[in-house]
Amino acid sequence: MRFIICLLLFALPAMADLPTTVPTTRPAFDGDQISVTEHEILVRGEPLRYRASAGTMLLKDEAGKPQANFFFVAYDRQPEAEPSERPVTFVFNGGPGAAAVWLHLGTAGPMRIDLNDDGLPGPPPFKLAPNEDTWLAATDLVFIDPVSTGFSRAAEGVDPKQFFGVQEDVQSVGQFIRLYLTRYERWASPVFVAGESYGTTRGAALSEHLLERYGIVLNGLILVSSILDFSTVSGDAASLPEALFLPTYFMTAAHHARVPEDLRDEPAKHLGDLESWSINEYLPALAMGDQLPADRRAEIIKQLERYTGLDAQIIDRANLRISPGLFQKNVLGDPRKVVGRFDGRVTGTDPEPLNPWPSIDPSYSLYFPVYSGSFNAYVRRDLNFRSDLPYEVISARVQPWNWERGGRTQVDVTGDLSDAMRKNPHMKVLFASGYHDIATPFFATDYTIRQLDLPPELRKNIEHLYYPGGHMMYHLAASRRKLGQDVGKFIEASK
């Protein structure tokens, strides 16, 4: 089974920005269409001035033939520092087919969608607010939309299919990064890459590709809600995914008070015992299949009922194997109610209660219009970029995606990451995971990190941090604040 993770992620923004001006310091290149504006926001009472550049960069082959127009938004803190003293971070989302708007307006950029403290949007019209937790305090930012996402398109006469694949995508995004560093004279800067969801797949592969193809070594890699080895979340790896999803099921069930009272108080403190049980008892029991003794089967069912909040009969009928869809549909004990895949805290009404699998994902449908409308207003009114093209927040145009890489169709880029860390022992990696993310579970990321096969001196370059919330844990105000602080510390320590 091919498991495609869409990093998904509308609103009429109310800007608290100063009036914009157009400076003359940023060069223009043939074929590019870029709008440059200046802004200032307050970050915890202190002014933060920055220049925003929004537009398309034309990529050509070595014969000078246009290949693609890459849309990007770059933010450079003002006044400008020497390149060697100021990091630059290239940021993208995943999909495949997602624009960078989720990380852009959700957590990293200087403006953010204005959500309630619990991470839920209020009624429309939606608003933008200055982001006091912006990563711009620590690094300049370049948000990249791959071809056929956002406003990025293949050049006239070029078949866009040549960009739609694991390796094809890495090559084109890598070419954009090289060209940006060249044109804007940032080769001397500390360079970071940040991705979310499938963007972490791209990011890990880029860490090796940039080094080998262009000699670009990264200071650090920021991987939010990561998926590097797809066998950890798909059914192709026998019983492993069921065991790796279980801690996320538990944290979600505890949030909805569907576990026993003794497990509800600070549920994260029970994760150590649960993870040990999942690997040492649950996984071997699944491996035994129909040879599992009846009394042992009953014990496993009882413990799964305790950890997941699911009815024992459902677990029994599922043959102990709890898929994400089964859990989402049944954890609330009401066939008309489901929890979100991208955020298990979010609930919704299923229009098809008799369907055994969720018909909707409320943690996507609730946020898509917020991000889409917000960015469409913001890019035109405040960044002064004009285009009649639809801004593809999440695009089906990239399908079918070429998942084959090196003769394998089950994607696994852990080798790229471990190779890049061996060749570039100064590179540090920050993993950030949400406790309630049923798309890319945090325990699967733990497992993946353990499979990198790194010596101790390189393993210390890896940090995995956990946050309340889902795939976009930054929807929660407290998690967004903590993530911003953690990213700032990571960049400072890695540059």
Residue 156 neighbours by CB under 8 Å, 6+ apart: 66
Tens digit of each residue's pLDDT (9 = 90 or more) over 239-268: 899 999 999 999 999 999 999 999 998 999
Tens digit of each residue's pLDDT (9 = 90 or more) over 265-321: 899 999 999 999 999 999 999 999 999 999 999 999 999 999 999 999 999 999 999
425 and 484 in a single domain? The answer is: yes
10 Å Cβ neighbour count for 365? 13
258 and 190 in a single domain? The answer is: no
4 pLDDT band, cuts 50/70/90, is very low
State the Cα–Cα distance between residues 246 and 441, nearest whole angstrom: 9
273 and 410 in a single domain? The answer is: no
310, 330 Cβ separation under 8 angstroms = yes
96 and 161 in a single domain? The answer is: yes
The DSSP code sequence of 164-217 is -BHHHHHHHHHHHHHHHHHHTT-TTS-EEEEEEEHHHHHHHHHHHHHHHHH---
Tens digit of each residue's pLDDT (9 = 90 or more) over 112-123: 999 988 899 988
pTM flag (> 0.85): yes
Domain boundary residue, one of 360, 388, 421? 360
Domain annotation covers residue 12 = no
302 and 405 in a single domain? The answer is: no
Q: Is 481 left (phi over 0), alpha (psi -120 to 50) or beta?
A: alpha
Domain annotation covers residue 409 = yes
193 and 54 in a single domain? The answer is: yes
Domain total of the chain: 2
Tens digit of each residue's pLDDT (9 = 90 or more) over 397-435: 999 999 998 777 789 999 999 999 999 999 999 999 999
Tens digit of each residue's pLDDT (9 = 90 or more) over 194-232: 999 999 999 999 999 999 999 999 999 999 999 999 999
187 and 328 in a single domain? The answer is: no
261 and 179 in a single domain? The answer is: no
pLDDT above 50 for 69: yes
The strand pairing partners of 92, in sequence order, are 195
pLDDT above 60 for 67: yes
Mean pLDDT of all residues belonging to the chain: 92
Burial class, 233, CB count within 10 angstroms (exposed 0-12 / middle 13-18 / buried 19+): buried
Arithmetic mean of pLDDT, 35-48: 94
Domain boundary residue, one of 301, 331, 360? 360
Residue 206's CATH number = 3.40.50.1820
State the Cα–Cα distance between residues 56 and 155, nearest whole angstrom: 11
262 and 387 in a single domain? The answer is: no
High-pLDDT (> 90) share of the chain, %: 87
Arithmetic mean of pLDDT, 95-123: 95
Tens digit of each residue's pLDDT (9 = 90 or more) over 335-370: 899 999 999 999 999 999 888 889 999 999 999 999
Arithmetic mean of pLDDT, 141-147: 98
Domain boundary residue, one of 360, 383, 411? 360
Question: Which pLDDT score, from 0 to 100, does residue 176 have?
Answer: 98
Which residue range is the domain that position 337 belongs to? 235-345+352-360
pLDDT above 80 for 10: no
37 and 131 in a single domain? The answer is: yes
pLDDT above 80 for 124: yes
Question: Which pLDDT score, from 0 to 100, does residue 282 have?
Answer: 97
